[in-house]
Structure 1
Amino acid sequence: MRRTEALKIITQVLKQPTGDRTPAAIVYGYPAAYFDGTEPRPKPWGMQVDMLAMRIAAQLPLEYDAAQSPLADAEDAKRRRDLTGEIGALMAGHDALTTASWYPAQPGDLVHVHYEAGGVEAEAFGETYLISAGEHGFLTMHLLAHTLPEDHPDAEGTVGCFAVDDDPDPLAELWMEAGPHRLTIVRHGRPVHTGGVR
């Protein structure tokens, strides 16, 4: 589920009436009967429903299964002049990476990225990167192989563009720009992230 979809669902639920209870029977989210006088009632607070829904959605541990990258989601929000959505998309993408069970990357990890065909000349191709220990205590990710023909007009400047040297988080740029849905990450011979699998 995408975070924007979750936000719509949460907003709809929060706007629904509270069934057969009157507003007076609800005190700050608790039934009035909950309070027996031994403990103080919570202090009142107020927030617009859409803002409350946005805060709840931002805390949901959603897996990132969108059809585009976090950066593309942020760009869509930016075009809509939705600053909250733009920041939310970037934060959601970052959180999806840093809360993954296999995170952080380790030396020996293989990272494959698949690019779909698009446009007139752009054809589908893949790249495989190897993560290794860097010289200064961080991690390096270098290109092992790719499937784009060497004479292809897009080969230069496109292939290997996500390679990094001595980076504390070598997957961050690839994850945010290409998108987790395009990545397959293998550790010790076993896939730990298969973004293309729904």
Structure 2
Amino acid sequence: MEAQCGGAGFIPESSRSSHELGNQDQGIPQLRIVLLGKTGAGKSSTGNKVMHEFQNRYCLFNNRASGAEKEEQKMQLLTLVQSMVRENGGRCFTNKMYESAESVIQKETLRMQELYREELEREKARIRREYEEQIKDLRDELEREIRRARMEREFKEREAIFTKNQQNARKEVENTSMILELIIKAWEIASFIFNQFMKD
């Protein structure tokens, strides 16, 4: 296997390494694929350190393998996977791994729910502002309509009084004329009587 080799391995939870990605949960076992360059397996100190972390849970692949060697590599990988499943009680992961993953999922779910709740609150506030402005405009419009109605009512009341006064004005004039006629007739009668007394 002096040609380029790659390997896949399982890092148990107790293992910690500076080679791990910074934001990964340290308590979750990881499957790593390690690519080794021309130095080959066992010849790189960094590669040896990483493979040591796998605690013999790795298998090597020769990318240029053919025939029986390729089949042997497949069998090594399947054997590794089967042994890991056996170690995990017949499952592909342990309860601890599941609980850790479930915890991460629940935290993310809660975070997303909180984001959606905040977004909903912002959207509700925006809608409330829009409708309150529309309602305010409607209230202003309603107030304007109420004031217009009051003005029209006052106009109509004034017009009714004016019309009544116009109609009564003729009667008043007629009544005033009748009074004048009565006064004039009374004056004429009084003059006639006075003239009659003066003649006698």
Give the TM-score normalised by structure 1: 0.19
Is the helix fraction higher in 1 or 2? 2
Higher strand share: 1
TM-score between the two structures when normalised by the length of structure 2: 0.19
Bigger Cα Rg: 2
